[in-house]
Amino acid sequence: MSGAEPIPKDIKAYVVYPWWKRMLRLRARDLPRVVRKLRGLAVHDDFTDIYRAVRPFTMLNHSRARALYDGVRQVVAAGVPGNLVECGSARGGSAALLALTLKGLAEPPQSRTVIAFDSFAGLPAPSLENPDYELARHWTGHCRGDLDAVRAMLAELGVADLTECVKGLFQETLPQRKPGPIAMLHLDGDWYESTRVCLEHLWDCVSAGGIVQIDDYGAWAGARKAVDEFLAAKGVPLTRLGYVDPSGRQLSK
């Protein structure tokens, strides 16, 4: 663990790079993101309120939060069966977004649960399987969410009854807490081994028409490697990965 070492400047710059600067460097693949952003400004739905409520507790930017919100609404509208599962919750903001979105939809109460898996002890040390290990290792122990604080935040936002938090390493908790059918899967565990173990345990649980959103595909080479390898082994072409923003990708199963 090298928590005492400073986080390299280039990672910080990526994480905090403002959206309006990215807007100035648009490419064709950015179009869906821009449309989402403009629609968010023009159409009033409850996303703005939800994002404002969870913003202090999440590292997700507007685009990835919006994609998650739209994904939940899409699977619920299409009647895709299953729970909403998140692997990598940290301070709980994105799990709260899933739960608040669900709560705002006209489904019978308690018909779905948000299951949030996390060590609640910060990022584990990455393995050498991560091509960007030299950068990744600086993040060991970062992004820590305290489980009691997460539960208090979920209660404060009125979604504690919709959300179950599962504490421990994915490698230990996923074989034990089987989440049943999944309508929406949010993978935000950053590292190769964290992403891979989630795909191995959860991919087959994702219902037909269910959505998988990967937060770190463009940000961490380990997450990208795990997704690329897994999809290749399953015979799923990479073209099925929809572009959310420079980091996020979404796939409809």
Ligand X SMILES: C[S@@+](CC[C@H](N)C(=O)[O-])C[C@H]1O[C@@H](n2cnc3c(N)ncnc32)[C@H](O)[C@@H]1O
Establish if 90 lies at the interface with ligand X (CB under 6 A). Answer: yes
**SS3 at position 146:** coil
| Distance in Å, CB of 68 to ligand X, minimum | 9
Closest distance of CB 182 from ligand X, Å: 16
Q: Binder to ligand X among 84, 85, 123, 184 (CB under 6 A)?
A: 123
> Beta strand 249-252 with 242-243: parallel, antiparallel or unpaired?
antiparallel
**Considering beta carbons, is residue 81 or 147 the nearer one to ligand X?**
147
8 A C-beta contact, residue 166 and residue 116 = yes
Contact 222, 192 (CB under 8 A): yes
- Given 40, 71, 93, 246, the residue binding ligand X (CB under 6 A): 93
User: What is the distance between the alpha carbons of residues 250 and 31, in angstroms, rounded to a whole number?
Assistant: 15
Q: What minimum distance in Å lies between the beta carbon of 239 and ligand X? A: 26
Chain residues 130-189 in contact with ligand X, contact rule CB under 6 A: 143, 145, 169-171, 188-189
192: left (phi over 0), alpha (psi -120 to 50) or beta: alpha
CA distance 171 to 231: 20
Phi and psi dihedrals of 29, rounded to 5?
-70, -15
**139 vs 243 by CB, closer to ligand X:** 139
Measured from the CB of residue 190, what is the shortest distance to ligand X in angstroms? 5
Closer by beta carbon to ligand X, 190 or else 245:
190
Distance CA(169)–CA(33), nearest Å, equals: 32
Give yes or no for residue 126 binding ligand X (CB under 6 A): no
Rounded-to-integer distance, Cα 185 and Cα 197, Å: 13
Number of residues engaging ligand X in binding (CB under 6 A): 24
Does residue 58 interact with ligand X by CB under 6 A? yes
Binding mask 27-56 for ligand X (x = CB under 6 A): ------------------------------
Binding site for ligand X (CB under 6 A): 58-60, 88-91, 93-94, 118-119, 122-124, 143, 145, 169-171, 188-191, 194
